[in-house]
Structure 1
Amino acid sequence: MLEAGVSTGGVGTDQASHDRPRATPAIDLLEGKRYLRRLPGDGPDRCHEEWAAFTLTPVGVTLGAEIAGVDLSSPLSDEVRAEIHRALLEWKVLFFPGQDMTSAAQQAFGQLWGELETNPLLEAGEDPSVVRFAKGGGGPQTYENIWHVDTSFRRVPAMGAILRMITTPPFGGDTMWADMAAAYDNLSDGVRARIDDAVAVHDMVPGFARFLPADKLARLEDTFPPVTHPVVRTHPETHRRTLFVNAAFTTRIVGLEPIESDALLRHLFAQAHTPEFQVRYRWTAGTVAFWDNRSTQHYAVGDYGAHARVAERVAIAGDVPF
């Protein structure tokens, strides 16, 4: 049976097991303690490095930082690109307020990290690699208000995404991100033992059936058949073990009976809901966000009613999870 509760003392198995704090008594679960770190070995006494190319201001504990002093509309030097990448690995989602950026500049920025992904399931802008989210007002309502990993239903999910906010509502419309490495760290030893070598099915149908016509959905099922990924993936650069299931696209854990798979998945999905693992960002027009899709989930809050919220996104092709 699924263990109740979440261990508050565990760290990932990317460290030696003898370095992991032992599971705490059940009473600590009620106290709400969490073990929070940004990178392997991170702790409260860590000396954080200075950033030569920009000013970095944290907005969350384990993820989320604002960056000032970089103009993303202009070509970046190799040194600035490398420092942004280092910040992305440490903070997992970066925010660049006050950018005057075109779609072309957004694409060029994304291409510094690799080939841009196209997604025929979403409405494209002028270029097929640019997805346009124009919600509220007289247009379609939001459907991104579910915790999800972009394109986890693909054999090769996106490495990351860059969202440029064009129009903001007068209130609401925030986006939340969850640190899924922290989520894994805080699972009980028993749950980790059950999922460390498990694989799960990811399917685009549950995530898109709500808003695609049935005939288009049927056609796209042939293009994007279900795939399997590890329930716990290893980040290819930081080597953190990261919980890699999400409520939008993960349908079952291979080898478990349906009732057992559903119960375990519900428990794992719920980890993204823990506030200590999250950052919530209030957008302003001109802000650009860049997040690591390998270590986070995100949720676009659909609380702006009839007001318009317009953004454009590019996604960077990734690698096969392992």
Structure 2
Amino acid sequence: MSDVAVHTNTYSAWYDFKEITKMRLSISVVFSSVAGYFLAADTIDWLVVALLSVGGYFMVGASNAYNQVLERDLDALMDRTKNRPVASGRMSVSTALAIAIVFTILGLGTLWYINPQTAMFGGISIFMYVLLYTPLKTKTPLSVFVGAFPGAIPYMLGWVAATNDFGIEPGTLFMIQFFWQFPHFWAIGWFLFDDYKKGGFAMLPTGKRDKGTALQIVLYTVWTVLISLVPAFGVTGDLFLSPISAIVVGALGLFMLYWAIKLYQNRDAKTAKRLMLSSVTYITLLQIVFVVDKFLR
């Protein structure tokens, strides 16, 4: 075999691995988990950070691999997903399933080594994403509600990894990321509406790109920002946000809310995409602000 063929095969295998595990999404989830850990830990144990990162990646990668096996026929219908490894036929179902199963075992084992509660929540995340959220996507807009549960687990998972306990602090982190997902995924559902329609996915709350959907996006954005500010009032145990950091988080929230309101006014794909990008900016910077605020106090 020529050097060019070896290079091409290696590149293809790496590309397919990134696609089957949705590497960028998995890394963003790991980022949330590590942020949650930093918020809870009195002293940073870098071994736990490494285990949480690796275990978290395995769990998200497994969920995505299962998802692409179950939705392979629907993925093939949509422009956004038709080049995925299983949908395109480059990877067999058995190979994708093997990756998913191995990742599940390795992920649960890694998180269990940290503590049992972390592994339990990781297992719940896979179960809800694969067996509840995935099949509901073609049946009801409530799938976004169901999917928000596993999607909100990573941020609180880091806290549980640090403390082996679930209380008001990780519960608050869970609620922040839970409500955030509605405007985020509805924005995606809006600008990818036609493509999702090809696959039969029902993502928007009213099923249409109308004022009803846009209004709900605005309302859930407001709820997201308000819940994000609750730690500033000293009612969430050891999770606290200083007044200055609360102002920063509030300003970030107003930026996201601006685009939600603009979507209500314009109701177009371009504005929906900007809202999606602003939501990613919001949750990323919020997590950074929370961690920086803790270490500067």
Higher share in strand? 1
TM-score by length of 2: 0.27
TM-score by length of 1: 0.25
Higher share in helix? 2
Q: Which structure has the higher relative contact order (CA within 8 Å, separation 6+)? A: 1
